[in-house]
Amino acid sequence: MSPHITLLLIDTAPASISALETLQKQYGDVLKVVGVADSFLEGLKVIQRTNPMVVILHVDDLEKGVKEVGYIVSTFPRVSVFVTADNNTTEWVLGLMRAGAIEYLFHPLQTSALRDAIQKVGRIWMPMSDNVKQKGKVITVYNPLGGMGTTTIAVNLATCLATESANVALIDLNLFSGDVATFLNINPTYTLSSVTKNISRLDSNFLASVMTQHPLGMSVLTEPLEVDESSEVTPEQLTRILHVLSEMFAYVIIDTGGHIVGGNVSVFESSDHILYTTVMNLPGLKNTKRYVASFERKGFQRGKVKLIVNRYIPRADISIEDAQKVLDWKVFHTIPNEYKDVVESINKGVPIVKLYPRSAVSKAIVQLAELLK
């Protein structure tokens, strides 16, 4: 049997080499070490010759390490880079992860930490036979208009699920005005258009190679950079992409907006849950009534479309009971109004469930994640 994961170590520390050897014995034929290089340049030669799935790179200088990681991921986009370093400060971790590393491990390598990292990347890389493939949950957070909190909910929901060690993808399908990258303070090398322009290459390995690995644990695919590229995305492409993603990840969280037409219909048909976000004011409820009625006319079951009331104030003029009567639709969950903290988290590029984990908003989103499991 051919190995599922091939790995190159660029490090000379005996303890790191020993940890890798121990892990290879535990994995047997599933893991193959294609080489141990004592320098970055030597490692590049091995990458070119063997095309490993994973490269573990020891970094002892941040500026140099950022350049080396960036070079590997741009030159060999199918390679997943793990970094191992003695320094675990925020500056080092964020700098190297933003450069393209998907795992940050303390140096020298420890077998247990390396095993966890290998298992995580293995869920993406390892092929599964057709009779054991399991479809992950596709959860779409939606409102036709902007400013209703869909991105905040999507980003924080994905963060909650990823924190619990679930294999999570976060996809920005606000094709013309996506904000996921801004909310997470990332600058992706590849976007959705990298996939649609190479749709003939679409498989789990290719998708894994173009998604941005966020330090908080989720794999992110953002909207195209150019408006013209967004216009070229087709419903058929989205259906195919979401099908592959659902086989790669336990949860696929989608942030989208716009009308219930074209690509959005494909997204909704591919979704297990559609979280329709609204607010408790007359304009918000008016639009909600129109759109949930449209969902029903298009054949979407009520159990699939779940109302999320965002910025909820318990003693507001309109109660949950009043809203449910007007909409003839049950409210699935509420998220309280903590505008200042949410805006701060957006401006800092840190999900509020991490910035203020004890806030009422964070607790509500954690509860939402539990309800959707």
From residue 5, alpha-carbon distances to 80, 127, 355 in Å are: 11, 10, 35
Distance from C-alpha of 120 to C-alpha of 112, rounded to nearest angstrom:
13
Q: Note the pLDDT of residue 116.
A: 79
Least confident window among 132-136, 256-260, 334-338:
132-136
Q: Is 6 helix (H, G, I), strand (E, B) or coil?
A: strand
Q: Which domains are seen in the chain, by residue range?
A: 5-125 (3.40.50.2300), 137-372 (3.40.50.300)
| pLDDT score for 208 | 86
- pLDDT, tens digit (0-9, with 9 covering 90-100), for 318-361: 999 999 999 999 999 999 999 999 999 999 999 999 999 999 99
How many CA atoms are closer than 13 Å to the CA of 274, on its beta-carbon side?
25
pLDDT over 70, % of the chain: 95
Looking at the chain, the whole-number percentage of residues with pLDDT higher than 90 is 73
Query: What are the distances in angstroms from CA 214 to CA 46, 154, 164, 307?
Result: 27, 15, 15, 28
Give yes or no for a cis peptide into 108 (omega within 30° of 0).
yes
Residue 42 has pLDDT above 50, yes or no: yes
pLDDT band at 363; cut points 50, 70, 90:
very high
